[in-house]
Amino acid sequence: MNESMLQACSLSPLQQAVVIKGIRNGFAEYSSYLMALPATPTNNYKPKLRSDIINTAIEREVLNTPAAALSVENKKASFHEYIVLRDINRQVSVLVQHLPESRQIMSQSKYRGEFALYNIDRLISEGFSEEDIEQLELDFDDYKQVSLSLEPRYFQFCVVVCYDGNKGADARIFEGALAPNQDQWIYRKEITHVALDNLEHNSATVEVQLTKLKTEVQESNYGLRLKDVR
């Protein structure tokens, strides 16, 4: 994918840095919470507590950094609550998700699929070519905009920022975008080392090349499987 398309749809370095700072602060706050809590024979609450604290920290960083041009919405899919970041100048949404490093991609879910629905249409409107789609092993005919009357600026593009919550402060952080069928990444790159204090001198992010993956069993309703949030 060429750089102009990435710039049109992906996060800016400042936006990356704000989200990363929120994730890092969230991990630190989560560790403090755990130290204050009594020991329990089971730990079912931990993944949800970690997610809530990290989401809260991200929201705080977004609100404290208006230059990033992001807003925050609280959403709910069945019993799963989550936040969506919105670029206020572009039709770009951001989901922040836990993804174990042992897995290359999330299981299919209805709500992620709805966010990814127009990713290819948006890229086509930004100049994505038939050859680009073929390189992703996607059927170009499935993404021709023959029945879509929306202007290109109304095609939502969804970015996913993912981290392995089990790694804590050592977690690597990735930015990517899912194909509409959620069986592969359109692009995925590591952004771990992007920081607010070194944006001008930040080294280039590393793009991760992934092979086409087999589609996993689709989740029922909107909820996440427990294995997704361990």
- pLDDT by residue for the chain (230 residues), tens only, comes to 556 666 789 999 999 999 999 999 999 999 999 999 898 899 888 999 999 999 999 999 999 999 999 999 999 988 889 999 999 999 999 999 999 999 999 999 999 999 999 998 888 888 877 777 777 666 555 555 544 555 666 789 999 999 999 999 999 999 999 999 998 898 899 999 998 887 654 444 444 443 343 434 334 333 434 344 44
- For residue 153, how many C-alpha atoms fall within 13 Å in the half-sphere facing its CB? 4
Residues with Cβ within 8 Å of residue 166, at least 6 apart in sequence: 100, 230
DSSP 2-69: -HHHHHHHS--HHHHHHHHHHHHHHHHHHHHHHHHSPP-S--TTHHHHHHHHHHHHHHHHHHH-GGG-
Dihedral Cα 126, 201, 189, 161, nearest 10 deg: -90
Phi/psi for 86 (5° steps) reads: -120, 130
Whether residue 187 contacts residue 157, with contact meaning beta carbons closer than 8 Å, is answered with no
CA distance 139 to 121: 13
Q: What angle is formed at CA 72 by the lines to CA 68 and CA 76, rounded to 5 degrees?
A: 155
Residue 75, both tokens: 């959403």
CA distance 131 to 149: 24
Helices (H), 85-166: 110-116, 119-125, 130-135
Q: What is the residue extent of each domain of the chain?
A: 3-221
Nearest alpha carbon to residue 199 among 90, 3, 68: 68
Query: What's this model's pTM, rounded to 2 decimal places?
Result: 0.81
In this predicted structure, what is the pLDDT of residue 129? 77
